[in-house]
Amino acid sequence: MNRKSGVLMHVSTLPGEYSIGSFGSEARYFVDFLADCGFSWWQTLPFCMTDECNSPYKSFSSFGANPYFIDLPTLYKKGLINIGELENAKQRSPYLCEYDRLANERLELLKNASKRVSIEEKLKINEFLEKYGELDRASRFLALREANGNKPWYEWEIEAPDSETLFMWQFIQYEFFTQWMEIKKYANEKGIKLIGDIPIYVALDSCDVWAHKELFQLDKDNRPKCVAGVPPDYFSEDGQLWGNPLYNWQEMKKDGYAWWCSRVEHMLTLFDGVRIDHFRGFESYWSIPADAVSAKAGKWVKGPGRALIDKIRETAGDRLIIAEDLGDITPQVASLLKYSKFPGMRVFQFAFLGDRESGHLPHNYVKNCIAYTGTHDNATLLSYTWEVTPEERRAIFSYCGYDGEDKALGCQAIMRTMLASPADTVIFPIQDILVYGSDTRMNTPGVAEGNWQYRLTKDQLDSISRDKFRTWNEDCFRI
């Protein structure tokens, strides 16, 4: 891998007039911004539907599309929605993602659009669904769920979906895929590659579990025997009780981990590389009794290890796989990462939690890693420099060659230091490039409300000096 740099920003954060970022002209404008700055990668969060807390890490389908990312002006140009519908969908509240409004209005708008699809386009949709069977399955699951009053699948009684609702979801999968692939083509032509995100686990109430019950640790009533999470760590003294059903790895092994391979292949169709969340769960995973009230009740259980890694490597070929190797990393996890040859992650905000040998300190970065100022789960870099003690802040800034008190300048010194590090790839969240504070944080783990809402304006994006970042990337040989 050649030395490169990039920006972490979810599609939901893009500027735009329709309640959330989308695959429209604003996405192309952001690609232009990246190219002008000398960046090479755009990293996003998962593309699947979000849960009741608006998190993309728990979804009704690990393959299915987030319908809110479909660009409405594109539908208008195709004659699938009218000018009144387009105007009515414009942003009304302060500039954050309008999730409540989207939940109440957007699917009805998309259903109306699906009713106006031409016969020729319907044939294209059918051909698309034949090629991408998991997306057809996701559509049927979502239509059946609605037919059953949006109850979880293990409480369903109705076995046939409404035909209009089914076609709406099929149309959504097709339109989402088609629009995004146009963005991907545009980005690649501009020299920008795209990184997606694969959550390690899926939701119990999902197409994945409904269609592949045998691949999960379920009891005779189709309820989880044990659920996923992590033990107490940097983020939570009680650990995190995620609640996702755990995989039946022995059953998955029988067909060569076909479901996982299909998932990786699908994501590598949408992206040029992917980050696999919670990589350490492949070596050992934290298994929590389903009736536990805290993640503290869990225990480590051996995962599939090298057998699954071999299959993922075979599927990915020479395409980028990033292993999210943060958290409780044992020698066994480190050994599996080394075996995989996947680049792991380094996070500057963890650099001063340990001693001078910390792998998160820029001078200790290995070449085969992806270095971040912070992830979507961290405070922004500016907020981080506010939260540490004055003595710690002076030590951090001094390490980066800055001896002043201006936190914004200190943050810029941190980014410049990281670009000069040995890491093959350095990625900055867009909030850190803007040097914004805690009000723009994307997610606080363990907190149910107020996450995933941050949006960027075009004026804010234009306030960033493209020449400065291009010079930094040139000086650090990342162009």
Question: Which letter does DSSP use for residue 236 in this model?
Answer: -
Residues in the chain: 479
- CA–CA gap between residue 197 and residue 443 (Å, rounded): 15
- Which pair of tokens denotes residue 329? 């990393």
Strand order in the sheet with 240-245: 240-245, 226-230, 284-289, 299-302
Of 51, 85, 121, 377, which one is the catalytic site residue? 377
The answer for residues whose C-beta is within 8 angstroms of residue 364's C-beta and 6 or more apart is 357, 358
Active site residue 98: no
Active site residue 157: no
Question: Which letter does DSSP use for residue 95 in this model?
Answer: S
Do residues 199 and 228 make contact, with C-beta atoms less than 8 angstroms apart?
A: no
End-to-end CA separation in angstroms for the chain: 13
Of 205, 324, 325, 424, which one is the catalytic site residue? 324
- CA–CA gap between residue 473 and residue 433 (Å, rounded): 13
Q: ∠ CA(142), CA(145), CA(147), 5° rounding?
A: 115
Q: Which residues pair with 240 in a beta bridge?
A: 230
Phi, psi dihedrals of residue 335, rounded to the nearest 5°: -65, -40
The answer for residues whose C-beta is within 8 angstroms of residue 327's C-beta and 6 or more apart is 230, 233, 234, 278, 280
- Amino acid in position 325: D
- Amino acid in position 58: K
Question: Which letter does DSSP use for residue 350 in this model?
Answer: G
**328: exposed, middle or buried (Cβ count in 10 Å: 0-12, 13-18, 19+):** middle
Of 277, 283, 325, 432, which one is the catalytic site residue? 277
> Helices (DSSP H) in 234-360: which residue ranges?
249-254, 258-270, 306-316, 331-340
Phi, psi dihedrals of residue 376, rounded to the nearest 5°: -65, -20
Active site residue 120: no
Annotated catalytic residues are 277, 324, 377
